[in-house]
Structure 1
Amino acid sequence: MGNISWEESYVGQMRKLIGHAKLIHPSVRAIIQNERGEILFIDRRGENRWGMPAGSMELDESIYDCLVREVKEETGIDVQAATLLAIYTSPKKSITNYFGDEYQMFELVFHVNKWSGEIITETEETTNAKFYPIDALPAGSDEFWDDHHQEVVKDLQSFTGSVIVK
């Protein structure tokens, strides 16, 4: 699919039509671990916020294709295998972003079991990438996302093979 501008993206097109009204936002989040079990976080360009690789599904792609694309765009690495870990859709996961746009999260969290390539620390979407120990995740500039990342890690630690639905 390649990189497209935000205005060309599905969410960008929807925002043009409906303004700041709440959208249900299909997206992915990737848990990528190194051999020590540390989790990869990226520093999002322009947001000054660390987060796991994540992003929105586009028209004409599957959720798995979205995962592969977003991880590649934000880290430079190639997803070779991933397991669906959790689905978050609770209305409690509604947020308003920096632009006043409202979203109800519809997030599928994948644990990337196998990946290849070298991590790129700076991309069009990121300014850094670094592995962090599970018990020392980076603090961002937003309490919602910090809490969400902690929840994702707890779900990873308690995962038994059955998808967690919240």
Structure 2
Amino acid sequence: MSSIGWKDSYVGQLRDLIGHKKLIHPSIRAIIRDAEGKVLFLDRKGENQWGMPAGSMELNESIYETLTREVKEETGIHVIKATLVAIYTGPHKSIKNDFGDEYQMFEFLFLVDEWSGELLRETDETQNAEFFPLDRLPIGSKNFWDYHHKEVLQDLSHFKGQLFLK
């Protein structure tokens, strides 16, 4: 299973054109649970940080296609059914990566209701994958991601079918 490199991605191409200026780009985050209710986290290669399956939209795909592609690339599993739980867009949700690139989050949070296939522990993008209980979540590399993971799981716990817009 092969994914395109970051430089060839839509966001990578935009970065080449505009440098470090702030960007808004649509992305997804997937909450995937096992039969016991544990949540899937991935250890990303080269970053030594745990995070939920997530990634940016590419040209010529829908946000749902982004979800299915990113989950497949990062986990090897196939999304059968998913529910949109929240959309995060607030300007206070700006982050800066290690290269000085700033992004205003525009993230669609999905709960993957049904999936098939075998979870891959290692992919082109990840070096480990594990389901964690809610009271023992792994630590991400930056405080922002630790906070955001807790926020999305809290939003999921309060989700009653009404989309959260933040």
* TM-score bracket for the superposition, by shorter chain length: over 0.9
Cα deviation per residue 1:1-38 (whole Å; 9 max; x = unaligned)? x6212111100110000000000021000000001100
Answering whether residue 38 of structure 2 is matched by residue 38 of structure 1, we say yes
Distance 1:27 1:161 in 2: 21
Distance 1:25 1:136 in 2: 31
Distance 2:148 2:56 in 1: 17
Unaligned runs of 5+ in 1: none
Distance 1:164 1:10 in 2: 27
* Match of residue 76 from structure 2: 76
Distance 1:42 1:15 in 2: 25
* Match of residue 57 from structure 2: 57
Task: Count residues in correspondence.
Answer: 165
Answering whether residue 141 of structure 2 is matched by residue 141 of structure 1, we say yes
For 2:4, give the aligned amino acid: I
For 1:12, give the aligned amino acid: G
* Match of residue 113 from structure 2: 113
Runs of 4+ in structure 1 off by over 3 angstroms are none
Distance 2:5 2:45 in 1: 14
Displacement of 1:61: 0.3
1:141 aligns to what SS in structure 2?
coil
1:20 aligns to what SS in structure 2?
coil
Identity %: 65
Unaligned runs of 5+ in 2: none
